[in-house]
């Protein structure tokens, strides 16, 4: 039996059986593989690291999208940096009055996601409210004159092509693309094995925004425990949105979810003590 052996974190490996390889190619930018696994369904990996799976992607994408959207409550324009599988776009399209721009550097990821994992995007790429831009995300946010209410940085880990999406310069350029009171959400890995990266993002975002924190979700295909999403905004009240208000917005939006609830939303910001200590310790 062939095994997919992810060695993203030194000394910690995730092994998945490869029941059938559907696609594999070294693109101009990264090594892309799509295969079937009996537990996770179809799996996409980039440079040997799992990016998404059919079975648990709903957790990752629902928390990426609905936390900022429902905390904001008035978002009409959203920008996705990365997110070539279309999962974040699918969740955003659940809102009737949203316009979405997605900027991804690799068209191959988008096209193969549509072909081999269509359930992830769920038709979002064909929605008239959706605008796909194939470009370098860093260059795009530096040069665009547009602004968005919510910016979702659905990047790979800070290695290879995704490394530049964790720099303070990039975060600063993203801030210039935010409307007043807007919020940025980042993919910040698994704190238990990526504590240094979490702290680096916290420090860099903290120099730019009035309110910076993280919230958590447990995603089975990401090895090492719960995953962290970065939260950055100048509106210090967004993170304090009450449960009753979140519930009302959730109902009014008319969306359906399988993981996200207003209660989960609030609880996700309650950080375990070891993460709090990592964010406050010096050095």
Tell me the chain's radius of gyration from C-alpha atoms.
Answer: 18
Look at the alpha carbons of 136, 43, 112, 66 in this order and tell me if their dihedral is positive or negative: negative
CB atoms closer than 10 angstroms to residue 72 = 21
Cα–Cα dist 283/267, whole Å: 29
Q: Which of 101, 68, 64 is nearest to 183 (CA)?
A: 68
Catalytic residue list? 154
Quick one: which H or E segment has residue 170?
helix 168-176
- Placement of tokens 């324009």 in the chain: 77
d(C-alpha 176, C-alpha 219), whole Å: 31
């Amino acid at each position: 039996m062939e095994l997919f052996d992810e060695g993203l974190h030194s000394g910690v490996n995730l092994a998945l059986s490869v029941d059938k390889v559907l696609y594999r190619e070294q693109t101009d930018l990264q090594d892309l593989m799509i295969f079937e696994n009996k537990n996770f369904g179809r799996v996409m990996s980039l440079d040997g690291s799992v990016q998404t799976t059919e079975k648990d992607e709903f957790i990752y994408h629902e928390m990426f999208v609905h936390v900022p959207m429902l905390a904001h409550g008035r978002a009409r324009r959203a920008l996705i940096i990365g997110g070539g599988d279309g999962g974040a776009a699918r969740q955003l399209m659940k809102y009737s009055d949203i316009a979405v721009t997605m900027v991804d550097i690799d068209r191959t990821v988008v096209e193969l996601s549509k072909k081999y994992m269509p359930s992830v995007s769920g038709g979002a790429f064909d929605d008239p409210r959706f605008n796909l831009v194939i470009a370098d995300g860093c260059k795009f946010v530096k040069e665009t004159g547009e602004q968005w209410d919510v910016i979702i940085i659905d990047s790979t880990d800070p290695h290879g092509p995704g490394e530049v999406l964790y720099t303070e310069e990039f975060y600063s350029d993203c801030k210039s693309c935010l409307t007043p009171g807007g919020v940025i959400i980042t993919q910040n890995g698994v704190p238990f094995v990526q504590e240094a990266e979490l702290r680096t993002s916290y420090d860099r975002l903290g120099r730019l925004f009035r309110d910076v924190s993280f919230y958590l979700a447990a995603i089975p295909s990401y090895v090492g425990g719960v995953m962290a999403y970065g939260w950055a905004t100048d509106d210090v009240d967004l993170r304090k949105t009450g449960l009753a208000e979140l519930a009302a917005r959730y109902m009014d939006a008319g969306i359906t979810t399988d993981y996200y609830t207003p209660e989960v939303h609030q609880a996700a910001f309650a950080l375990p003590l070891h993460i709090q200590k990592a964010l406050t310790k010096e050095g």
